[in-house]
Amino acid sequence: MNQEAITNLEKLGLQKIQRHIFLCADQTKPKCCSHEEGLESWNYLKRRLKELGLDQPSADPPCFVFRTKANCLRVCEGGPILLIYPEGVWYQKVTPIAIERIIQEHLLNNQIVTDYLLLRHDLPHSELNITSQNDDS
């Protein structure tokens, strides 16, 4: 891995992420919701994570959330769709009101918001053997 990539990883604090949120927003071909609805939810999510200090590693609160805007999560109904890992919790109809509840209840208090729950599916844990392609040993 080159030094620039390592610097970017450290700057983003990727090794400290506790949860990763994917939100279906800004779709090329909007199907699950309108383009405007998706962007409204995305902008709300970004703003609230920043306001609450959840977008940076910290000890208080001990919750660092990384976010990714997905073009499509392939559900194509009942959007915007939001997915949280590592729990594997899929939420539907995530308007700003729903996002606020998900932040308060799920992210900060570890309670799934059943009113918007679409699916819960933990991914199986596996051990990866990672080797460098440049490893000459």
pLDDT, tens digit, 9 for 90 and up, residues 69-100: 999 998 989 999 999 999 999 999 999 999 99
pLDDT > 70? residue 41: yes
Q: Is residue 103 part of a domain?
A: yes
Tokens read off for 71: 């073009």
Tokens read off for 42: 């995305």
pLDDT averaged over every residue in the chain: 87
At residue 136, the pLDDT reads 46
Residue-number span of the structural domain to which 46 is assigned: 16-120
Looking up residue 37, the CATH number of its domain turns out to be: 3.40.30.10
Mean pLDDT within 53-78: 85
Q: Is residue 110 part of a domain?
A: yes
Number of domains the chain contains: 1
Q: Is residue 6 part of a domain?
A: no
pLDDT > 80? residue 58: no
pLDDT > 80? residue 108: yes
